[in-house]
Amino acid sequence: MRPTVNDIAHAAGVSLATVDRVLNARPGVRKVTIERVNKAIEELGYVRDLSAANLARRRTYRFVFVLTEGDSQFQRTLRETIEEVAKNAARERMMVETVLVPPGDPHHLARVLHGLEDDRAEGVAIMAPETPHVRDAIRHLKENGIAVVSLVSDLPNTDQDHFVGIDSIAAGRTAGVLMRRFLCKNKGKVLVLSNTMILRESVERRLGFDAALIESYPEIEVLPSIEWRDDPDRLERNVRAAFASYDDIIGVYVTGPGNRLFSRVLAPYRQEHDLVYIAHELTDHTRAGLADGSIDVVITQDIGHVVRSTLRVLRAKVDKTEIDAAQERIRIDVVLKENMG
């Protein structure tokens, strides 16, 4: 049988109350006594029973995900995953809510975040671009004792507690090195596409991509990023212009969402061009692209892992307990048709 607090008390020759004080870092215990208790804990190999602890604490965690609206496959998958994970989280007394804010409206976002201060949640997970308003709102949240975690898109210059996601520069570098290897010393141009460069990871991925590709492979020219900002026509125009200007385009790299649209735009040019196509984020569409061979590699992160990790981290922050770095590290996944699973 596992030792309980009672066993510890007995072994240490103190009362239950003292053990409790030590365990929960309550004041009013002498140093020597603390050590005696800790020694007993060590010797008996006591570990706190989480079930009982949670029950007694009758703590229910309220966490809010704040996401920007959008109907890209990625965002849709994210929302679905949150919903699904939330269901299981309920068993562990975590109530998860999702709030959507319109994209490109930092004021609205800041208002929403401020609204969370008064007792709506003890933890907030944010995926949104970093702006002064957001920085401000996050500081307020933290001042009110609310845990703040960013997911997918880092908010490094804020008071956030943690970022759950991948290193975008490394992700871009991974894309770059794969592009380099898949291009097999051919000379030519590489097209880089991004719906918007407002999100920092778009910029960082491009950075890493260029670094990995150009530094070791100067025969390749990486063209300036094509942005289309939710405007399909602009995308089409720019792509047409690119293929008109250069007949040696041999690779395309899409740094973020938008593969569904871009694939359609790209289709007419694929017959005459043998392209290496590298994309980000595994979704139904990129999955299909891998399967039919139109996409060569997808660099991605496991969304389920991201969401579960976010909740674990939020809980750890609220409880002020350690987080298991190994478990919470999100890997940069390289997905080919063969290991798609």
Binding-site ranges for its own copies (CB under 8 A): 1-2, 47-52, 54-55, 60, 87-88, 90-93, 95, 167, 170-171, 173-174, 176-178, 181-182, 184-185, 208, 212, 299, 302, 304, 308, 324, 326-327, 329, 331-339, 341
Instruction: Pick what 265 binds: its own copies, DNA, none; C-beta below 5 to 8 Å, kind-dependent.
Output: none
Minimum distance between the CB of residue 289 and its own copies, rounded to whole angstroms? 16
Identify the DSSP state of 4: -
Structure tokens at 105: 């409206």
Q: Which is nearer to DNA, 6 or 327 (CB)?
A: 6
Q: Which is nearer to DNA, 15 or 327 (CB)?
A: 15
Structure tokens at 142: 């933290």
Q: Is 49 in the site for DNA (CB under 7 A)?
A: yes
Instruction: Pick what 294 binds: its own copies, DNA, none; C-beta below 5 to 8 Å, kind-dependent.
Output: none
Task: Pick the piece of the chain touching DNA (CB under 7 A) from 47-55, 155-163, 225-233, 252-260.
Answer: 47-55
Minimum distance between the CB of residue 28 and its own copies, rounded to whole angstroms? 26
Q: Is 2 in the site for DNA (CB under 7 A)?
A: yes
Residue with tokens 């997918």: 152
Which residue(s) pair with 164 in the sheet?
151
Question: What is the β-pairing status of strands 297-300 and 333-335?
Answer: antiparallel
Q: Is 88 in the site for DNA (CB under 7 A)?
A: no
Within 8 A by CB and 6+ apart from 256, the residues are 74, 194, 195, 199, 201, 202, 205, 280, 281
Q: Which is nearer to DNA, 20 or 159 (CB)?
A: 20
Q: Is 20 in the site for DNA (CB under 7 A)?
A: yes
Q: Which of 35, 39, 55, 264 binds DNA (CB under 7 A)?
A: 55
Within 8 A by CB and 6+ apart from 145, the residues are 122
**Spatial distance between the Cα atoms of 93 and 62, rounded to a whole number of angstroms:** 9
Q: Which is nearer to DNA, 1 or 326 (CB)?
A: 1
Identify the DSSP state of 331: P
Identify the DSSP state of 334: E
Q: Is 28 in the site for DNA (CB under 7 A)?
A: yes
**Spatial distance between the Cα atoms of 202 and 255, rounded to a whole number of angstroms:** 6
Structure tokens at 290: 């891998």
Minimum distance between the CB of residue 31 and DNA, rounded to whole angstroms? 8
- Residue 149 near residue 123, CB atoms below 8 Å: yes
Which residue(s) pair with 194 in the sheet?
227
CA dihedral 216, 204, 182, 279 (to 10 degrees): -170
Three-state SS sequence of 210-228: HHHHHHCCCCEEECCCEEC
Minimum distance between the CB of residue 117 and DNA, rounded to whole angstroms? 22
Q: Which is nearer to its own copies, 168 or 225 (CB)?
A: 168
Q: Which of 58, 119, 293, 321 binds DNA (CB under 7 A)?
A: 58
Question: What is residue 135's three-state secondary structure?
Answer: helix
Q: Is 244 in the site for DNA (CB under 7 A)?
A: no
Chain residues in the site for DNA (CB under 7 A): 1-2, 4-6, 13-18, 20-21, 23-24, 27-30, 32-33, 46, 48-49, 52-53, 55-58
